Amino acid sequence: MAFDPKPILAALPNLPGVYRYLNDKGDVLYVGKAVDLKRRVSSYFQKNDQSPRIRLMLGQVADIQTTVVRSEAEALILENNLIKALAPRYNILFRDDKSYPYLMLSGHRQPRLAYYRGALDKQNQYFGPFPNGYAARESIQLLQKVFRLRTCEDTVFENRSRPCLLYQIRRCSGPCVGAIPEDDYRADVQHAVQFLQGKANDLLVELDEKMHTAAGAWQFEQAAMYRDQIEALAKVQAKQFVSSNASETDADIVACAAGHGMVCVNLVMIRGGRHVGDKSLFPSHGEDYDVQSALEAFLAQHYLGRTIPPVIVANVEGEVGVLAGLLTEQAGRRVAVVGNPIGERRVWLEMALKNAKLAIEQRLSLESTQLGRMQSLLEALALPDSAQRIECFDISHTMGEATVASCVVYDKLAMQPKEYRHYNITGITPGDDYAAMRQVLTRRYGKIAAGEGVAPDVILIDGGKGQIGVAVEVMEEVGLSDALLVGVAKGETRKPGLEQLIVPSRNQTIQLPRDSAALHLIQTIRDEAHRFAITGHRARRGKARVSSSLEEIEGIGAKRRQRLLTRFGGLQGVKAASIDDLCQVEGINRALAEKIYNALH
């Protein structure tokens, strides 16, 4: 029976609120906000020129739910929260799950400079956010070079008896061993803060005065240090792609572009007057959205509930007063959303818009390449055009130690890292790759056969006839026979390009040409599975070795082991300690110290 919206529409109020379209299973298809619920929701069912996406959605609607709120601002907040929580199929959605990185200066007497993600607290100073981890770490390296601030963990800092390598290469001033007076170190910290706050010019003037003062007092070594800092800061300023003469030193530039069925938002971050990086974001379900709708969705999803700079410059048209008011209230200070910039702000926005358009072109080029590779693979394996999901498995261990299996996923013409999985293999004879492959395939496809997860179209097994034979047995046991099993066996000389594809269901062995696009795609997926397996194995092996090295020593229980690791900053520190150093740890006498030393050397 077709859904009749008339009774619901007739009862809707002319008030602000949020509406939700649901299908016959109760799943939310779309969430929207409205200043006037009755007028907005009714418009969907009165227009005849809806886009194909909207017509498809309306054909699935089985119910409409609404929530009345007091204002347009409350509607915007509720809409944003529901979109993030429900991820409706027909809403544009900017997926950015990771928190943005910051630089942190700790609240210690001798502050530590560190890379940080997570909730902010009042004990420390934070600078950022930065668009990615690379930009944040690059800034840390710069600050180390210019101001020589410590970056070590507290457990290492508190237990150093001599300065570390960073001190030797002039990347730290050695506050851990008193190589720099506390007042001088705090001055360096304050200079770093000035730089991060965009007061580089003031800082240069101050350092220049100190350099001349030191030189006038014949303190030439001190003057040379100030000279080196001035030169390093001048080089940094010269490298900046964007510099700001405006009063604000922190700003975000947001430009949205659309083309070729794609929508892209380029986010540029300026912190302390420096261009610290940018990133291009492609939303889910954005193909049928115009630029303004996509931009408004991004501004709400990205900034509500997050740290906000004082200025946001965007190519947004129309009224943004409601959003600016919400952001101002959230930040506890004025936040300006500038939609028609002038001067240098216009230059920033034009640059971001150009980058957004370039990102679309680059993705289009990449997708056309991936599409060609995928089409070639479908032809090589005689698969239907609907096939697109490939899963690949590999096993990694060191002579049977810490065996880990990897599963990587290729879907929608790209690798899908969020769907990768590691499997710790236990209960098998060390080094038995067949048993390891049996275990991982049983664990993964046993669940999928029971209805948990998505079944792939192709399963790649990195191995020859033995491994693929195990895979065939497992798939028969779990009752999953739709996926095509393909073994990727290395050639006689194990050189790339000589791989053989073993397809047991067709009793077929295929050797593709070395320049085959299908072979290149298989190699890419196989190599990613190999890399991911090695990563998991090394992590598991390292963890096992760290704990077992001390656990195997008689007389070292959990408390003594913890004291040792804390005192020396980790297992490597314990190994580097002398017998006399070990004796300084509570609960460690000389006999036990000698036993520890001998066991680790």
192-245: per-residue pLDDT in tens? Answer: 888 777 776 677 777 778 788 877 778 777 777 778 777 766 655 544 434 444
d(CA 144, CA 199): 18
pLDDT of residue 492: 63
SS3 state at 402: strand
Q: What is the pLDDT of residue 488?
A: 93
Residue 303 CB coordination number (10 Å): 22
In the predicted model, residues of the chain with pLDDT beneath 50 are: 238-247
| pLDDT value, residue 232 | 66
Residues 6 or more apart from 594 whose CB is under 8 A from it?
579
Going from the N-terminus, what domains does the chain have, and what CATH number goes with each?
6-86 (3.40.1440.10), 251-361 (3.30.420.340), 390-542 (3.30.420.340), 552-600 (1.10.150.20)
Task: Compute how many other C-beta atoms are within 10 angstroms of the C-beta atom of residue 239.
Answer: 10
Sign of CA dihedral 464, 467, 469, 474: negative
Side chain identity at residue 390, one-letter code:
I
Q: Which long-range contacts (CB under 8 A, 24 or more apart) does 157-165 make?
A: 157/110, 157/112, 159/567, 159/568, 159/569, 159/573, 161/581
- Identify residue 298 by its one-letter amino acid code: F
Q: How far apart are CA 509 and CA 506, in angstroms?
A: 9
By residue count, the chain amounts to 601
pLDDT value of position 98? 57
Strands 458-462 and 484-489: parallel
Beta strand spans in 463-588 (E): 484-489, 500-503, 508-510
Q: What mean pLDDT is reported for the chain? A: 85
Q: Write down the residue that tokens 């710790």 correspond to.
A: 424
